[in-house]
Amino acid sequence: MKRKAANKQELEQKLERIWEYMRSGRHQGHWGMDMDHWDWVPGVGVISLLEYGTVAGKGEVIEYLLHWVGRNKQQAEGVRVINSLAPYAVFPELYRLTGDPWYLSTAQEIAGWILESAPRTREGALEHTVTEAVEFPEQVWADTVYMAVLFLARLAGLTGDRELAAAAVQQTLLHLRLLQDPATGLLFHGWNSGAGSHMSAARWARANAWVTLAVPEIVAGTGSLTAVPQELYNRYRRLASALRQAQGAGGLWHTVLDRPDYYGETSASAGIACGFLKAVKSGLLENSYLESVEVALAKILPLIREDGEVQGVSGGTPVMPSIEAYNRIERYPAVYGQGLVMQLLTEALNLGDMKDRLERQGFQEQREQGEQKGYPERQGHQGQQEHPVRQESQRRQGQSKGEAPLNVEGEAGG
């Protein structure tokens, strides 16, 4: 049965409410929702607002971002850790929009620090460092791909810098190699290079979301500047396939992906679904992944309250001491949860048009293939060709037959 795309007007209304909730001054001093500090939490927020503002043509959102940078840039001075790099991902586009050379020079300075001075593990992967007074020596976290590597790819795309592009691809592939579970294809939250282990070995949902969401853009921004190894594509597609299989029956992904008895988590689900959308749009994934997107979107929309608050978002989460500890993470409103849902809804604004275009394209390819081979067109119900998404679903169905919780308020986690 063909699933009806989300109503565009409803998405626009939800986006407006999320945006109003994010910019409200009443959140000041509340770690999860306070926009006015320089770290990964508001960083994910401003990345999301930039996408919303540009796609939806919201000039007031872009103005807010420019004022946000002006208000908070002094907090960034002297802070050189992975988590504090997330806000810089908006600098390349703000430079394009304003022509202000400060955005470009600052971004290039930060990129220079990443290439030359940022701590690395023995494998050469960026060590995950945080603003809080805690260290994770020689630890690799999936979060880094979104918080830092995405910025490198965006700056490379702006400047045409091949060295930055190569570094972004190298770091992405390193993280996939170190974090991907060979048995399932899912990603572990972290890797301890010194111990040679994945620590608690949790296949944490939001870790998988950061990578699923970032890779399509990293590849798109760097592919014309440097070679992207086939291994990276293969690993990403294996990850996506594993995530599709792990999607919960209700539409959300569970906070630990292979634990269906654990709660479904909103921010990770939005990030994974948005990553699928971006990957289908770019041709990185096949069209059938839109089925998973629509199921997740239908479940997420009711979790947006009338005032714009996104519910069901887990708090900041470092690599936890046990898998069980992930299920005890408190859930509360957070900028990154608002932002990841905002990104999904923004990408979904044109989902109906996208599906129609892909369907027409699929029909055309089928006709051309049939004409080349001398085959008659395959007919589905009511004399129409079978939908390519449904065909893929049927193909997959045929193949399948044969310890104490941490206080995470302000915690150094993603």
Active-site residues: which are they? 143
Q: Where are the beta strands (DSSP E) in 127-250?
A: 139-141, 190-192
The DSSP code for 107 is H
29-44: buried (b, 16+ CB within 10 Å) or exposed (e) per residue? eebbbbbeebbbbbbb
Residue 183: how many other CB atoms lie within 10 Å = 7
Point out which residues pair with 120 in neighbouring strands: 126
Q: How big is the CA angle at 52 (ends 21 and 2), to the nearest 5 degrees?
A: 100
DSSP helix/strand/coil, 322: coil
Structural contact between residues 282 and 373, judged by C-beta atoms closer than 8 angstroms: no
Beta carbons of 81 and 131 less than 8 angstroms apart: yes
Non-local (6+) Cβ contacts of 305 within 8 A are 17, 311
The answer to whether the CB of 150 falls within 8 A of the CB of 92 is: no
Q: Which residues pair with 254 in a beta bridge?
A: 264
Going by C-beta distance under 8 Å and a sequence separation of 6 or more, which residues neighbour residue 381?
none
CB 328 within 8 A of CB 405: yes
Cβ(126)–Cβ(114) below 8 Å: yes
Q: What are phi and psi of 17, to 5 degrees?
A: -70, -40
CB atoms within 10 A of CB 73: 13
Rounded to the nearest 10 degrees, the angle between the axes of helix 289-300 and helix 351-373 is 160
Rounded Cα gap, residues 22 and 334, in angstroms = 9
- Distance CA(247)–CA(85), nearest Å, equals 30
197: phi then psi, degrees, rounded to nearest 5: -145, 165
Cβ atoms of 317 and 297 closer than 8 Å: no
- What amino acid is encoded at 105 in this protein? S
Nearest 5 degrees, angle CA 333-CA 334-CA 338? 95
